[in-house]
């Protein structure tokens, strides 16, 4: 008998193929890390010259003067660009967070069957509209609409870009928020309903608190999306350097600045390096936002798993 066992214990072709595939797919998985690291390395490589030679922390974050093309005294103050991005993103969130959460609650907790499926599909389709089309909508539809409605000279401003960005970010936030609601175990709802709570009581007192982490994550990802959006903001915000004081001021965003100016700079120049430095800043901020959102999502999942766990050491783990 033991000899028989021996004879069978060979590393046959199937074993080696499996080993080879394991290495191959591991390489695929590692590529994600390689790419994200590559992004950081390559934008840093192009921006490093500027960061070390010219970068002035106080000017970058403290001055609203972004005049890289000035021949005698170029300045690289990103404050106005940061303010532009922040104002547009902020308005977008004001518009879209309540509506996205409302839509997520309706789709996740109230709608049923066909209505629910249809709404989910519609939301998914909304998320698919390319940003350049959104920008074009801001430019050609929202712009005249704002000029007429509010009687202002220019319709490309914080309001326009904010609303466009809000509509863009909403589908993603709705989807993620709905996932978060779905992750709340049905036993919670059943327990509350068994005690005689109505649907909205269940939603407000039980489901929303339980899904809080996921909802925060959804909002954070919405912020990340708004912060990093390029074409739509470039086309709808007016693209002029301003510290905005009203929603009708035109502004300029960090992303839009890179998109608009990179084509006209010489590789290796200060201006070129400065644009890559903006890129590094964008990368770091979005990385932080995504990381935070991931922590919240994980926190939410762990919570439910701990509470909703089956009895210890289940037979089929």
- Could you say which of 11, 72, 114, 309 contacts other proteins (CB under 8 A)? 11
- Which among 79, 95, 126, 88 has a CA at the least distance from the CA of 234? 88
Chain positions 51 to 90 lying near other proteins, rule: CB under 8 A, are: none
Q: Does 316 participate in binding other proteins (rule CB under 8 A)?
A: yes
Chain positions 249 to 268 lying near other proteins, rule: CB under 8 A, are: 255, 258-259, 262-263, 267
Chain positions 206 to 235 lying near other proteins, rule: CB under 8 A, are: 221, 224-225, 227-231, 235
- Could you say which of 82, 165, 167, 216 contacts other proteins (CB under 8 A)? 167
- Could you say which of 87, 143, 157, 174 contacts other proteins (CB under 8 A)? 174
Distance CA 252, CA 241 (A): 5
Q: Does 313 participate in binding other proteins (rule CB under 8 A)?
A: yes
Q: Nearest distance from residue 234's CB to other proteins, in Å?
A: 8
Distance CA 303, CA 142 (A): 43
Q: Nearest distance from residue 73's CB to other proteins, in Å?
A: 26
Cα distances from 65 to residues 77, 177, 263, in angstroms, run: 5, 39, 21
Handedness of CA 128, 129, 135, 141 (dihedral sign): negative
Chain positions 14 to 53 lying near other proteins, rule: CB under 8 A, are: 14-15, 17-18, 21-22, 24-33, 35-36, 38-39, 42-43, 45-46
Candidates 3-11, 57-65, 67-75, 185-193: pick the segment binding other proteins (CB under 8 A): 3-11
Q: Does 308 participate in binding other proteins (rule CB under 8 A)?
A: no
- Could you say which of 86, 129, 154, 183 contacts other proteins (CB under 8 A)? 129
Q: Does 194 participate in binding other proteins (rule CB under 8 A)?
A: no
Candidates 50-58, 184-192, 193-201, 243-251: pick the segment binding other proteins (CB under 8 A): 193-201
Specify the residue, 86 or 119, whose C-beta has the smaller distance to other proteins.
Answer: 119
Specify the residue, 18 or 62, whose C-beta has the smaller distance to other proteins.
Answer: 18
Specify the residue, 62 or 268, whose C-beta has the smaller distance to other proteins.
Answer: 268
Distance CA 150, CA 115 (A): 36
Helices then strands (H, E): number in the chain?
Answer: 15, 2
Q: Does 141 participate in binding other proteins (rule CB under 8 A)?
A: yes
Token pair 């909508």 in the structure block, residue: 137
Specify the residue, 18 or 190, whose C-beta has the smaller distance to other proteins.
Answer: 18
Question: Dihedral angle at the C-alpha atoms of 71, 75, 79, 81, nearest 10 degrees?
Answer: 30
Distance CA 83, CA 292 (A): 22
Distance CA 49, CA 265 (A): 15
Q: How many residues bind other proteins (CB under 8 A)?
A: 105
Distance CA 274, CA 62 (A): 15
- Could you say which of 75, 201, 240, 269 contacts other proteins (CB under 8 A)? 201
Contact status, residue 63 vs residue 73, Cβ threshold 8 Å: no
Chain positions 107 to 126 lying near other proteins, rule: CB under 8 A, are: 107, 110, 119, 121-126
DSSP structural state of residue 310: P
Distance CA 167, CA 238 (A): 18
The residues near 112 (Cβ < 8 Å, ≥ 6 apart) are: none
Token pair 């970058």 in the structure block, residue: 60
């Amino acid at each position: 008998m033991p000899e028989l066992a021996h004879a069978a214990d060979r590393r046959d072709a199937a074993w080696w193929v499996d080993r080879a595939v394991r290495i191959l797919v591991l390489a695929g998985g590692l590529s994600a890390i390689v790419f994200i690291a590559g992004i950081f390395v390559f934008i840093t490589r192009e921006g490093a010259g500027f960061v070390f030679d010219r970068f002035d922390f106080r000017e970058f974050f403290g001055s609203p003067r972004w005049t890289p093309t000035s021949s005698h005294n170029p300045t690289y103050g990103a404050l106005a660009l940061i303010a532009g991005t922040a104002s547009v993103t902020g308005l977008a969130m004001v518009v879209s967070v309540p509506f996205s959460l409302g839509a997520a609650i309706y789709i996740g907790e109230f709608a049923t069957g066909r209505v629910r499926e249809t709404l989910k599909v519609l939301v998914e389709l909304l998320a698919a509209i390319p940003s350049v089309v959104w920008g074009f909508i801001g430019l050609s539809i929202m712009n005249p609409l704002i000029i007429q409605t509010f009687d202002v000279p220019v319709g490309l401003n914080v309001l326009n870009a904010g609303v466009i960005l809000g509509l863009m970010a909403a589908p993603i936030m709705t989807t993620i928020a709905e996932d978060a609601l779905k992750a709340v175990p049905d036993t919670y709802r059943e327990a509350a309903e068994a005690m005689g709570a109505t649907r909205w009581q269940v939603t407000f007192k039980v489901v929303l608190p339980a899904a809080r982490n996921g909802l925060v994550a959804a909002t954070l990802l919405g912020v990340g999306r708004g912060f990093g959006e390029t074409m739509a903001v470039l086309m709808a915000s007016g693209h002029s350097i301003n510290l905005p004081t009203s929603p009708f001021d035109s502004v300029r965003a960090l992303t839009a600045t890179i998109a608009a100016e990179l084509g006209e700079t010489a590789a290796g120049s200060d201006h070129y390096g400065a644009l890559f430095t903006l890129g590094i800043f964008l990368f770091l901020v979005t990385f932080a936002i995504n990381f935070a959102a991931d922590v919240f999502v994980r926190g939410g999942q762990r919570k439910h798993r701990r509470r909703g766990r089956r009895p210890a050491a289940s037979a089929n783990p």
